[in-house]
Amino acid sequence: MIAYSRICLLTLVTGGLIFSSCKQSSEGQGAGLIDQASMDTSVRPQDDFFNYANGTWVKNTEIPASQSSWGSFTTLADESLKNIRALLDSLSQEKGLTKNTTPQRVADFYTSLMDSAGIEAKGLTPLKADFDRINAVKDVPGLLDEVAKEYTEGNGELFGLSVGADDKNSMENVVHLSQGGTELPSKDYYFKQDSSIKKVRDAYVAYITKAFVISGATPTAAYKMATEVLAAETELAKVSKDPVALRDPEANYHKLTVGELNKLTPGINWVDLLAKLQMKTDTLIVGQPEFFTGLDKALKAVPLEQWKSYLIFHDIDNYAAVLNNDVVEAQFAYAKVLTGAKEQRPRWKRAASMVDRNLGDDLGQLYVKKYFPPEAKARISAQVDNMLATYGQRIQQLDWMSDSTKKKALVKLHAIAKKVGYPDTWKDYATVRIDKGDAVGNLKSCAQYEYQRNAKKVGKPVDRSEWFMTPPTINAYYDPTENNINFPAGILQPPFFFANGDDALNYGAIGMVMGHEMTHGFDDQGRLYDENGNLRSWWSSEDSARFVQKANLIIKQYDGYVAVDTFHVHGNLTLGENIADIGGIAIAYAAFKNTAEGKDTTLRIDGLTPDQRFFRAYAQVWKIKIRPERLKVQVMTNPHSPAPFRVNGPLSNLDAFYQTYDVKPTDQMYRPDSIRVKIW
């Protein structure tokens, strides 16, 4: 998930076409909202539209020392955090808040996180009970008991555990097991010998060493334990899949009985372990059975004391943000090497983010009440409907898909549910106990609540109204097993949506985000799920082959982009997001051309034609600058292409862009029609 969203001005759907009620005026609506100062007019739009639209900003902008990137998403996230801080500061100053209410929980949690003196005085003592249990472990069954105990408190190690829809029976919640237990960004970070990757590994070992020194070990002993922790994680990495292999839904779906899983891992008693994990089930979805076979062997091969060091370090790491400053700084020293950030974020930003992550629905209620009025939700919902109508028209006009598959695609499209702004029903945190003097305890209480809430879902129907992002989040997502699109309130602001903007502006920005999320239902992964969210084949073999042929062109195109140094964009890893970007801008443009402004060839606002405004609005959404350290991590692990290629890549496949800017075969963004990709 990442960078998706949708919305525009008040619109009407008439006869399946989209018409806007926006006032069109060269002196009125939308004027001054295109960022002209960011342009670099020395760059030709036909050669590099990203830098044509944003180049001067990129040259002149310094990434804040506490950030690894800066631009549209991060500046909006910064504003969101300021709004959250204002809410929290105000509540924290109120006297006599009623215990176990929304205001009390968020205010006291924030207070506990801001209590630097109290946290410093406690040092690592809040983790003493954890350390005592780990040190008392006598054998592998005892080690697994401790893992289960920590899972219920939010510290999940050795493997991945979650509860969610069965991909092939999407109405029912099941237990999912997956590979896990490693801290470095991906499998490659344990094995590649590139100097920048080795630097990250060395920084990680230095962080682990420092954590053990802080916990009382001598430097020599601490370094030995740190290398052993890395070695234990490396054993898990050996049997893990890489990020590309994890993108195949069918290859990562294995429904097993508990007995069948026991046979794969004779050293792990899953009946006993699942009971301690409080997961009542006879069957599980095991994503990567080979990982668990490898884990079983590693538990026997790696000395017990080494695994105990592994658990102690990860306990410290899990709570580092609410421990004393030495731990915070040790963790940040590693993060500096990994991300390139120069300074720690201010304490209030870290605290506000933690409240959002742990009490998201409590905070969300307060946030939307102040910052997201009901009329905004209604207006955005209407815009999403308009985009869906255009998508349907596009599917009907496809020249590469058979009529039988088109009918099924339309059924799926019409079944997409939309969720805008915030949940209709909020989580009830009544069992969460928050003490303004106990930051670690508060984190554990929140984690215990969330763990229990999920454990109770096993075997129950999926609640498709549930949200997996909080309202202030600057992001959006599509859920394939629920076939729904989700747009938190946080992203429905400039530069994504302008309440006083014209259609060209809003279709190019938030409209593209809408189209992006919708297209995820039909990307290389999403297309494998039907209208009910079940993983099953619904395409004809011929249509599927044609889709793959087009997708291979996208893979080859993005493989050719160099992100930084010798690090290329990974076409296979980013395929789904690239399909969504290419489809999203095409759908948004088609919807825009159904508006009055889209049809007007004479209108000028800020000296730009409607089509020029549309493309400029799109480019300014991706006005992002990123540090090289973070960029290397992104291209190795992240399914999203770097910002310049999220502009130039999709536009180089869109005929309308060629027409608007008179792109010729000699121009750098030109792609011959034979390889110009048009899927959706």
HEC sequence for 264-300: HCCCCCHHHHHHHCCCCCCEEEECCHHHHHHHHHHHH
> Where are the chain's structural domains?
140-304, 372-414+495-661
d(CA 317, CA 304): 20
Tell me whether residue 207 is exposed, middle or buried, using C-beta atoms within 10 angstroms of its C-beta: 0 to 12, 13 to 18, 19 or more.
buried
Least-confidence region, from 176-190, 547-561, 588-602: 588-602
| pLDDT, mean of residues 56-74 | 97
CA distance 244 to 249: 11
For the chain, give the mean pLDDT: 93
Query: What's the per-residue H, E or C state across 112-178?
Result: HHHCHHHHHHHCCHHHHHHHHHHHCCCCHHHHHHHHHHHHCCCCCCCCEEEEEEECCEEEEEEEEEE
pLDDT of residue 15: 27
| Residue 597 near residue 503, CB atoms below 8 Å | yes
Q: Is the pLDDT of residue 678 over 50?
A: yes
**Does residue 24 carry a pLDDT above 50?**
no
Residue 480 CB coordination number (10 Å): 22
Whether the pLDDT of residue 148 is over 80: the answer is yes
Count other Cβ atoms within 10 Å, centred on residue 508.
28
Cα radius of gyration rounded to whole Å, the chain: 26
| CA nearest neighbour of 562 among 512, 472, 653, 628 | 628
CATH 3.30.420.10 fits 372-414+495-661, yes or no: no
| Rounded Cα–Cα distance for residues 442 and 491 (Å) | 28
- In CATH, which of 3.90.1520.10, 1.10.1380.10, 3.30.9.10, 3.40.50.720 is domain 140-304? 1.10.1380.10
The C-alpha atoms of residue 514 and residue 387 are separated, in whole angstroms, by 7
Say if residue 552's pLDDT is above 50. yes
| Measured CA angle at 349 (ends 347, 354), to 5 deg | 95
Question: What string of DSSP letters covers 455-522?
Answer: HTTTTSBP-TT--SS-TT-S--EEETTTTEEEEEGGGSSTTT--TT--HHHHIIIIIHHHHHHHHHTT
pLDDT (0 to 100) of residue 484: 97
| DSSP-derived 3-state class of residue 18 | strand
Q: Which amino acid is at 428?
A: D
Cα(208)–Cα(233) distance, integer angstroms: 12
> How does residue 28 score in pLDDT terms, banded at 50, 70 and 90?
low
Extract the tokens encoding 503.
């259609």
Averaged pLDDT for residues 243-249: 97
Q: How confident is the model at residue 500 (pLDDT cuts 50, 70, 90)?
A: confident
186: closest CA among 645, 562, 561, 635?
635
Tokens of 543: 């249509």
Q: Which amino acid is at 134?
A: I
* HSE (side-chain half, CA atoms, 13 Å) at 159: 28
Q: What is the pLDDT of residue 378?
A: 78
